[in-house]
Amino acid sequence: MGNGTTEKNIIIKGIGGFYYVKTADGVVETKPKGIFRNINIKPLAGDFVEIEEVNGDYVITEIHERKNSFLRPPIANVDRVFIVISTVEPSPNYTVIDKMTAICIKKGIFPDIIITKTDLLKDDGLSGIYEKAGFSVTDINMENADKEIIGMMKGGLSVFAGNTGVGKSTVLNRLFSHLDLETAKISRKLGRGRHTTRAVEIYDFEGGSVADTPGFSYIDTEREQPLYADEIEHLFPEISPYIGKCRFNDCSHTSEIGCAVIEKVKSKEISETRYKSYCDIRKEAEGISRWEQND
Ligand SMILES: Nc1nc2c(ncn2[C@@H]2O[C@H](COP(=O)(O)OP(=O)(O)OP(=O)(O)O)[C@@H](O)[C@H]2O)c(=O)[nH]1
Ligand SMILES: [Mg+2]
Ligand SMILES: [Zn+2]
């Protein structure tokens, strides 16, 4: 069913072992074939699949080759990533944000930044940090922000990612009046680990599609999304222009004399928080060798 010539079947949501597949004839609930478990492949939202009816139930029989895939948030075949950051409640977690920008760039996607909650706490340098690094930054509370963001989302699959409670679902509700996503105040009592959005879900709008995703508050670059020590300098757009310009050819840009990157941090051309993230991620990666893991 739905194996048409023009419309491809796509997983729009996976929850509790079920996958919801949008076909030319509507959305159907499916289960993956046991074979995927055996070869350790988990279907992801965004996957293009083949499905078959077996005794009235639908099963996924094939997952088409992915253009790319993310583990956090879990989604495949992504065209664009918006990293949502709030000025406060929660305040920015630079390590997570900067791991996220690096992972996106590694996967060939230059992410965009959306800043929320500037009505609660004014943006005191947050957008500057990311603009200086070369990212496009939109403050959702500024005039024309909605128009600007929708314009950037046209064509393909956009993903809203970021810490829990930053306002991903709230922004999407505001951008698209046909959406009515669940949102919730972050509760101080419940504290960490409270996620309002429970699963990735893909929604269509005129001109594209967008995924709302559950927030996260850490990224394990060791086990989940490997970043190798020698590639991290290439994944920070404000650092990569200085590769090869330091006194030592194998400069790690963390403590060496004659380091061109450290010079730029001193002269404030490179933001301190971004540089600190670079050093932290690099340190974390130093214990890992490429053959210990497969990505
Ligand atoms: N004042 C203010 N509140 C906001 C803004 N954006 C979001 N909020 C509030 O922040 C809270 C969390 O918003 P959600 O949209 O549920 O956050 P989320 O990122 O989807 O969170 P998860 O689904 O848990 O990952 C809600 O109470 C929103 O009303 C903003 O720009 N200003
Ligand atoms: Mg949400
Ligand atoms: Zn250097």
8 Å CB contact between 43 and 200: no
- 3-state secondary structure at position 165: coil
According to DSSP, the residues that pair with 10 across neighbouring strands are: 22, 48
Which residue's alpha carbon is nearest to atom 23 within ligand 1? Answer: 197
Q: Smallest Cα–Cα separation from 142: which of 171, 169, 166, 162?
A: 171
Which residue's alpha carbon is nearest to atom 3 within ligand 1? Answer: 117
Cα gap 215→4, rounded to integer Å? 35
Compute, in angstroms, the gap from residue 4 CA to the centroid of ligand 1. Answer: 39
Q: Smallest Cα–Cα separation from 253: which of 239, 266, 241, 267?
A: 239
pLDDT in tens, the chain (295 residues): 434 444 699 999 999 889 999 999 999 999 888 777 777 788 999 999 999 998 889 999 999 999 999 998 999 999 999 999 999 999 999 999 999 999 999 999 999 999 999 999 999 999 999 999 999 999 999 999 999 999 999 999 999 999 999 999 999 999 999 999 999 886 654 555 578 899 999 999 999 999 999 998 888 776 778 899 999 999 999 999 999 999 999 999 999 999 999 999 999 999 999 999 999 999 988 876 655 544 4
Burial of 141 (C-beta count, 10 Å sphere; 0-12/13-18/19+): middle
Q: Are strands 80-86 and 112-116 parallel, antiparallel or unpaired?
A: parallel
The CB of 150 under 6 Å from ligand 1? The reply is no
- Output the six-digit token pair for 27: 């959305």
Residues 6+ apart with CB under 8 A from 106: 227, 231, 235
Residues in the chain, how many? Answer: 295
The CB of 174 under 6 Å from ligand 1? The reply is no
The CB of 197 under 6 Å from ligand 1? The reply is yes
Cα gap 207→94, rounded to integer Å? 32
The CB of 117 under 6 Å from ligand 1? The reply is yes
Compute, in angstroms, the gap from residue 161 CA to the centroid of ligand 2. Answer: 9
The CB of 73 under 6 Å from ligand 1? The reply is no
Enclosing H/E stretch for 262:
helix 260-266
- pLDDT given for residue 219 in this prediction: 81
Amino acid at 248: F
Give the ligand 1 atom nearest the CA of 195: 24
Enclosing H/E stretch for 260:
helix 260-266
Residues 6+ apart with CB under 8 A from 203: 12, 172, 176, 179, 209, 210, 211, 212
Longest CA–CA separation in the chain, Å = 70
Cα gap 28→201, rounded to integer Å? 14
Cα gap 174→203, rounded to integer Å? 14
Compute, in angstroms, the gap from residue 189 CA to the centroid of ligand 1. Answer: 17
The CB of 119 under 6 Å from ligand 1? The reply is yes
Enclosing H/E stretch for 130:
helix 126-132
Q: Which of 116, 146, 169, 183 to mutate to test the pocket of ligand 1 (most atoms within 8 A of CB)?
A: 183
- pLDDT given for residue 290 in this prediction: 58
Residues with CB under 5 A from ligand 2 (ion): 168-169, 196-197
Ordered by where they begin, the domains of the chain are: 10-63 (2.40.50.140), 69-212 (3.40.50.300), 229-292 (1.10.40.50)
0.85 cut: is pTM over it?
yes
The CB of 141 under 6 Å from ligand 1? The reply is yes
Amino acid at 35: I
Which residue's alpha carbon is nearest to atom 5 within ligand 1? Answer: 117
- 3-state secondary structure at position 109: coil
Given the structure tokens 């650092």, which residue do they identify?
Answer: 239
The CB of 185 under 6 Å from ligand 1? The reply is yes
The CB of 77 under 6 Å from ligand 1? The reply is no
Q: Is the dihedral of CA 146, 152, 156, 162 positive or negative?
A: negative
Q: Which of 75, 120, 170 to mutate to test the pocket of ligand 1 (most atoms within 8 A of CB)?
A: 170
